[in-house]
């Protein structure tokens, strides 16, 4: 049994550990793939945003530059036409607010002069335009200082190669390009443009507390910037992973509690079952022994009488008496066992009709008169006058009372005193059996009413019994709608009380 318990316990622990490991591993894997998926999606989104921004910028540039190109390539082109055209384009494409035209010698064709902060920027740009670029023509972005300048060389213009340099208006870039593009991208994530040092220069939402997930480069149109994707606090996969982990841990803890409770309950059931098996085997041994003793006595006295070896008439009467009492004892024991088995099988029926308690008490006391006298018991029987009739099954009630008296005799030590009384309270008739015997420890007062239960002590002191007597008493009084109680002190004695209701018990009770 112990081995089985240890094995079961071990198996459950191993199963739990395997479950924990499996759970943890799959949680990790799930976390890793969720992270991967999230990063892929984030990269796709950032790349898409970068492409859109790039395309929007390039499209504006294209329109602007091709307009200029058409103008400059016209045979009758005069630089004086430029302001009008620039103003038209500026109104249409406000992204570029500074336009400069230079000829091959670097002379400014438009506007009249380089002003303010633009002067060093465009002067520096001129220095960067190579000979080949002047000859081949084409379009390139130059990062000058913190600005991006689009330079387009138109080689075959009527007046020789012309360099068009466009400077962007960053406010318009933010408003018309970034805002529009980023707003169109849905989702929890936020997009931002960060500069070379990683500082955000534009963001689609408040970045406070948000976590940067990744950045992707913008094309050559915006060389110094990158698109960064941010995740609001608590929305990153790590956070949902953390949440999943908490849920997993909580579920696992719950599982552990259930397993521990289950193990505890199983252990209790198994322990109870094995105790019950032990009690049953004790029961068989005890009943056999209890049957044997009176049978041996009956046989011995019957044989003596049969052989006529009786010294006197008085002894003969005594022998008859012994045979009668021992057969009564046998009958009581067998009745107890049979009734108990009927109760266990749910076959016990009681025939409850109104009757007096007094004749029952007298009959039982009469049945025990000889053993009580023989063992030197001082007996008091006190029955209150005018007791009302109560609903009862007289033979069953006699059996219950006989069991209590039998126990009082069995479990009395040196002080042999028995008090049996019957009295009435408001709605009950109480029948009490009190002894001054061994007494019952407080912890055992409820258990003694369980089937087969015997206080170990009684057995060691050689008092045999089946352990079903009090279980029967309990069953009988409860069938009458009553109850049995006990008050006891170890070494001082016990008092068992049958509480019998005066009214009919409810049918269902």
The binder of ligand ADP chosen from 204, 231, 399, 407 (CB under 6 A): 407
Measured from the CB atom, is 181 or 407 closer to ligand ADP?
407
Q: Is 435 helix (H, G, I), strand (E, B) or coil?
A: strand
CA 65, 70, 74, 79 torsion-angle sign = negative
Measured from the CB atom, is 93 or 407 closer to ligand ADP?
407
Closest CA to 467 of 283, 276, 329: 283
Contact string (CB under 6 A) for ligand ADP, positions 418-437, x = contact: -----------------x-x
Stretch of 239-247, 275-283, 343-351, 438-446 contacting ligand ADP, by CB under 6 A: 438-446
Kindly state the greatest CA–CA separation across the chain. 169
Buried residues in 105-138 as b, exposed as e (16+ CB within 10 A): eeebbbbeebeeebeebbeebeeebeeebeeebe
> What residues numbered 486-505 form the site for ligand ADP, per CB under 6 A?
494
- What's the min distance (Å) between Cβ of 493 and ligand ADP? 7
Taking CB under 6 A as the rule, does residue 399 contact ligand ADP? no
> What residues numbered 47-106 form the site for ligand ADP, per CB under 6 A?
none
Contact string (CB under 6 A) for ligand ADP, positions 240-279, x = contact: ----------------------------------------
Measured from the CB atom, is 227 or 408 closer to ligand ADP?
408
Q: Is 431 helix (H, G, I), strand (E, B) or coil?
A: strand
Measured from the CB atom, is 393 or 435 closer to ligand ADP?
435
> What residues numbered 466-485 form the site for ligand ADP, per CB under 6 A?
466-471
Measured from the CB atom, is 42 or 408 closer to ligand ADP?
408
Parallel/antiparallel/unpaired status of strands 108-110 and 96-103: antiparallel
- What's the min distance (Å) between Cβ of 341 and ligand ADP? 15
Query: What is the length of the chain?
Result: 509
Here the tokens at position 276 are: 């019950």
- What's the min distance (Å) between Cβ of 465 and ligand ADP? 2
Contact string (CB under 6 A) for ligand ADP, positions 119-148, x = contact: ------------------------------
Measured from the CB atom, is 469 or 481 closer to ligand ADP?
469
* Number of chain positions touching ligand ADP (CB under 6 A): 21
Taking CB under 6 A as the rule, does residue 333 contact ligand ADP? no
Measured from the CB atom, is 356 or 441 closer to ligand ADP?
441
Taking CB under 6 A as the rule, does residue 161 contact ligand ADP? no
What does the alpha-carbon distance between residue 164 and residue 485 come to, in Å, rounded to a whole number? 113
Residue nearest to ligand ADP (CB): 465
Here the tokens at position 334 are: 């067998």
What does the alpha-carbon distance between residue 207 and residue 290 come to, in Å, rounded to a whole number? 91
Secondary structure of 148-176 as H, E, C letters: EEEEEEECCCCCCCEEEEEEECHHHHHHH
Over the Cα atoms of the chain, what is R_g?
Answer: 54
Here the tokens at position 397 are: 């009630």
- What's the min distance (Å) between Cβ of 19 and ligand ADP? 46
Q: Is 257 helix (H, G, I), strand (E, B) or coil?
A: helix
Taking CB under 6 A as the rule, does residue 408 contact ligand ADP? yes
What does the alpha-carbon distance between residue 135 and residue 151 come to, in Å, rounded to a whole number? 14
- What's the min distance (Å) between Cβ of 462 and ligand ADP? 12
Here the tokens at position 118 are: 């633009």
CB within 8 A of 357, min separation 6: which ones? 383, 387, 390, 392, 397, 422, 429, 431, 500
Contact string (CB under 6 A) for ligand ADP, positions 440-469, x = contact: x-------x-----xx--x------xxxxx
Measured from the CB atom, is 465 or 501 closer to ligand ADP?
465
Measured from the CB atom, is 68 or 438 closer to ligand ADP?
438
What does the alpha-carbon distance between residue 98 and residue 192 come to, in Å, rounded to a whole number? 26
What does the alpha-carbon distance between residue 467 and residue 383 come to, in Å, rounded to a whole number? 29
Measured from the CB atom, is 437 or 501 closer to ligand ADP?
437
Bridge partners for 429 per DSSP: 424, 500
Q: Prior bond to 473 cis, omega within 30?
A: no
Q: Which residue ranges make up the site for ligand ADP (CB under 6 A)?
A: 403, 407-408, 411, 435, 437-440, 448, 454-455, 458, 465-471, 494
């Amino acid at each position: 049994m112990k081995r089985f318990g240890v094995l079961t316990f071990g198996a459950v622990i191993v199963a739990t550990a395997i479950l924990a490991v499996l759970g943890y591993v799959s949680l990790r894997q799930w976390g890793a793939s969720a992270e991967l998926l999230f990063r892929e999606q984030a990269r796709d989104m950032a790349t898409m945003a970068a492409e859109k921004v790039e395309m929007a910028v390039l499209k504006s540039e294209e329109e602007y530059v091709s307009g200029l190109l058409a103008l400059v390539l016209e045979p009758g082109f005069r630089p004086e036409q430029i302001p009008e055209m620039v103003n038209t384009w500026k109104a249409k494409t406000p992204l570029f607010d500074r336009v400069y035209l230079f000829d091959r010698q670097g002379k400014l064709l438009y506007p009249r002069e380089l002003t303010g902060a633009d002067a060093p920027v465009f002067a520096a740009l001129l220095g960067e335009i190579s000979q080949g670029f002047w000859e081949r023509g084409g379009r390139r972005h130059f990062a000058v200082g913190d600005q991006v300048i689009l330079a387009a060389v138109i080689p075959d213009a009527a007046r020789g190669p012309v360099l068009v340099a466009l400077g962007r208006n960053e406010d318009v870039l933010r408003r018309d390009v970034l805002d529009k593009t980023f707003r169109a991208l849905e989702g929890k994530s936020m997009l931002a443009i960060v500069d070379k040092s990683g500082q955000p220069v534009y963001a689609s939402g408040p970045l406070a507390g948000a976590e940067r997930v990744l950045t992707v480069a913008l094309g050559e149109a915006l060389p110094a910037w990158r698109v960064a994707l941010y995740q609001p606090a608590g929305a990153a996969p790590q956070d949902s992973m953390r949440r999943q982990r908490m849920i997993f841990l909580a579920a696992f803890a719950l599982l552990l509690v259930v397993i521990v409770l289950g193990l505890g309950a199983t252990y209790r059931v198994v322990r109870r079952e094995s105790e019950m098996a032990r009690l049953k085997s004790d029961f068989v041994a005890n009943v056999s022994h209890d049957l044997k003793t009176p049978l041996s006595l009956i046989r011995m006295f019957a044989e003596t009488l049969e052989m006529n070896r009786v010294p006197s008439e008085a002894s003969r009467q005594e022998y008859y008496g012994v045979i009668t009492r021992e057969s009564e004892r046998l009958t009581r024991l067998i009745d107890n066992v049979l009734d108990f088995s009927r109760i266990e099988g749910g076959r016990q029926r009681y025939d409850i009709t109104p009757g007096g308690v007094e004749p029952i008490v007298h009959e039982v006391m009469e049945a025990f008169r000889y053993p009580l006298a023989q063992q030197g018991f001082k007996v008091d029987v006190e029955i209150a006058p005018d007791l009302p009739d109560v609903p009862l099954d007289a033979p069953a009630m006699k059996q219950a009372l006989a069991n209590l008296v039998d126990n009082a005799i069995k479990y009395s030590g040196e002080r042999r005193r028995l008090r049996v009384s019957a009295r009435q309270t408001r709605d009950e008739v109480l029948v009490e059996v009190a002894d001054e015997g061994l007494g019952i420890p407080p912890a055992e007062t409820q258990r003694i009413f369980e089937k087969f239960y015997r206080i170990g002590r009684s057995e060691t002191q050689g008092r045999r019994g089946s352990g079903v007597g009090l279980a029967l008493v309990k069953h009988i009084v409860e069938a009458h709608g009553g109850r049995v109680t006990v008050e006891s002190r170890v070494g001082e004695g016990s008092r068992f009380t049958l509480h019998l209701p005066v009214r009919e018990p409810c049918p269902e009770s």
